[in-house]
Amino acid sequence: MKLYDGGKAPNPRRVRIFLAEKGIGVPLVPVDMGALEHKGDTVTSRNPLQRLPILELDDGTILTESVAICRYFEELHPKPPLMGEGALGRALVEMWQRRMELNLMFPVAQAFRHIHPAMKEWEVPQIAEWGEANKPKALAFLELLDGELASREFVAGDDYSIADITGLIAIDFMKPARIPLPEQLANVRRWYAAVKARPSAEA
Ligand SMILES: N[C@@H](CCC(=O)N[C@@H](CS)C(=O)NCC(=O)O)C(=O)O
């Protein structure tokens, strides 16, 4: 199998971090997104949405959507569990994973894509006002998350999970999106420092 990778872009990074936590090595095919290589034939023939990452299995099956790719590896290599254990554990991780994606990753991405000049060819039409409108949404959710993290170590409970990985990539993405992480969010900062310090964060 091979993983078509997008370097610094958050979704490809999410899968690399997940694999690193599991100790799984998958050959990477680098795609230079800065040079818009993801718009070329190699990616388009595998994912008409022209998005990364893409996992190609040995029989030619294509999997896209980073969480679906993670799910595939979770089923094949259940330890350490990163998508919860048992009915309730799995549901809680899914709940928080979706919350992190829809309420944090999404608005941060919208701010970056609709405001940053480098995204002009990626986000058409680019609407700066929509980008700006998303910044307070991300910050409001972080405040909610700060309250949640007052009473537990990780986003979905006592164990590190894919919800933490989505949170990490989203907060790192706030830098190019030019959304400063507020000083007063002490619990978010404590949690972020811990997940950022894990070796997988370098993946
Ligand atoms: N929902 C998809 C999103 C994939 C996605 O948007 N990837 C970005 C990189 S982080 C991309 O390929 N963007 C290319 C573009 O917008 O043209 C996933 O979770 O994998």
For residue 151, the CA-to-ligand 1 centroid distance in Å is: 33
Locate the ligand 1 atom nearest the alpha carbon of residue 36 and give its number.
Answer: 17
CA angle 115, 98, 156 (to 5 degrees): 120
Predicted pLDDT of residue 15 = 98
Percentage of the residues of the chain whose pLDDT score is greater than 90: 99
Nearest Cα to Cα of residue 103 among 131, 69, 139, 56: 139
Rounded to whole angstroms, the Cα distance separating 17 from 73 reads 12
160-196 pLDDT per residue, tens: 999 999 999 999 999 999 999 999 999 999 999 999 9
65/196 Cα distance (integer angstroms): 23
Q: For residues 133 and 122, what is the distance between their CA atoms, to the nearest angstrom?
A: 19
pLDDT in tens, 58-78: 999 999 999 999 999 999 999
9 lines ligand 1 (CB under 6 A): yes
Rounded distance, CA 33 to CA 26, Å? 20
Helix, strand, or coil here: 8?
Answer: coil
Q: What is the pLDDT along the chain (203 residues), one digit of tens a residue?
A: 999 999 999 999 999 999 999 999 999 999 999 999 999 999 999 999 999 999 999 999 999 999 999 999 999 999 999 999 999 999 999 999 999 999 999 999 999 999 999 999 899 999 999 999 999 999 999 999 999 999 999 999 999 999 999 999 999 999 999 999 999 999 999 999 999 999 999 99
- What's this model's pTM, rounded to 2 decimal places? 0.97
Q: Are 129 and 166 in contact (CB under 8 A)?
A: no
Residue nearest to atom 5 of ligand 1 (CA): 51
Q: Write down the H helix ranges in the chain.
A: 10-22, 41-44, 66-76, 86-100, 106-115, 128-148, 162-173, 186-197
Mutate which of 4, 8, 11 for ligand 1 pocket (most atoms within 8 A of beta carbon): 11
Q: Say yes or no: CB of residue 14 within 6 Å of ligand 1.
A: no
Q: Is the CB of 10 under 6 A from ligand 1?
A: yes
> Ligand 1 pocket, 46 CB below 6 A?
no
Nearest atom (ligand 1) to Cα of 109 = 10
Asked whether 11 lines ligand 1 (CB < 6 A), one says: yes
pLDDT at 196: 98
pLDDT for residue 197:
98
Test site for ligand 1: of 13, 16, 52, 169, most ligand atoms within 8 A of the Cβ = 52
